[in-house]
Amino acid sequence: MTRAWDWPDLHGPLRGMRVLDLSQQLPGPYGTLLLASLGASVVKVEPPQGDNSRTLDPAMFANANAGKATIVADLKSDAGREAVYDAAREAHVVLEGFRPGVVSRLGVDYDTLKGFNAGLIYCSISAYGQTGPLSSHPAHDVSLQAIAGSVAPETATDRIGVPWVDLATGTTAALTITAAWHAGTPGYLDMSMLDSALAWASIKPAAVAEPEPTYGTVLTSDGAVVIALLEDRMWVRLCAAFGWSDWGSEPRFAAYVDRRKAANEIRSRLDSELNSRTTDQVMTLAEAHDLPIHRIGRDADAIGQIAARAGDGASPCIPIPAAWQTPLAAAPNLPV
């Protein structure tokens, strides 16, 4: 049949790896974005109507699919399946993100594709894994965050936020695929988003359960800042910055573990202190006393830092979204 694609030629330690990406939205595409950022050639397979994220979140689609080529294939048709079989013969990796059982019904599952290429590394990403009582249940990122205990019951939100379970799963998939490729070990990889959520959440189990005295967002008189102060020496500097001489040497606040016990008392005073100052005034104090207090949002300083690193010859090992001067090509357009 006529060849329907060309493998992108990128540079990096994974140059030569060929990846066929059947996934949509975020976990799978982010995993293959990481591979592409390290030099792998990624061909993205989209249905005739395109990846769902093209309409759900165009900016996310553009950021997650930079550096990839696209072929359109209706996997419900013989011609679409043949295009995937043709690509699978040359690929080293196939990644899919359908619900369990879907790729078998479509005829692009591991057992089928390894018949065309016995050396394939085939990675499936799903919410709960391929087996078990929840395997067919639908879920998104926040669902898994909640199950993992990373969403406080009293939390009220109507924002998606940073989908860290999606990103964690994509990262784990990319790492595992890279290890298998370097080891020359083909086979099947079953990636569960729930596994990633539980693994990450278990590193800091008290993250949601207990309040922090000097960590989080604080309102200023004209906006808000974020503070991330944990260390005892930083606490001493914070007290000096705000003239808290009574607390700077107070034994019951000297250690972080003790400050956590008095989190509400400390936070109340911190709120009052920052509420009375403008954001600029707070940042001036932070600079003068070397405090981890930052503006909220992608400001010029942050973008300048990225540009400075690039100017110094730094080569980021993770992809930077297009708005942050990505080194990868733009996201693919959907062919007509």
CA angle 60, 57, 317 (to 5 degrees): 5
Nearest CA among 285, 294, 279, 280 for reference residue 229: 294
Query: Measured in Å, how far apart are the chain's first and last C-alpha atoms?
Result: 19
In the residue annotation, 57 being an active-site residue is answered as no
Encoding tokens for residue 207? 């993250």
- Please state, in angstroms and rounded to a whole number, the distance separating the CA atoms of residues 54 and 333: 10
CB atoms within 10 A of CB 37: 23
- Please state, in angstroms and rounded to a whole number, the distance separating the CA atoms of residues 333 and 327: 18
- Please state, in angstroms and rounded to a whole number, the distance separating the CA atoms of residues 77 and 50: 16
Q: Which residues pair with 70 in a beta bridge?
A: 44
The catalytic residue among 166, 222, 232, 258 is 166
CB atoms within 10 A of CB 104: 13
The kind and range of the H/E element at 28 are helix 27-37
CB atoms within 10 A of CB 171: 18
Catalytic residue numbers read: 166
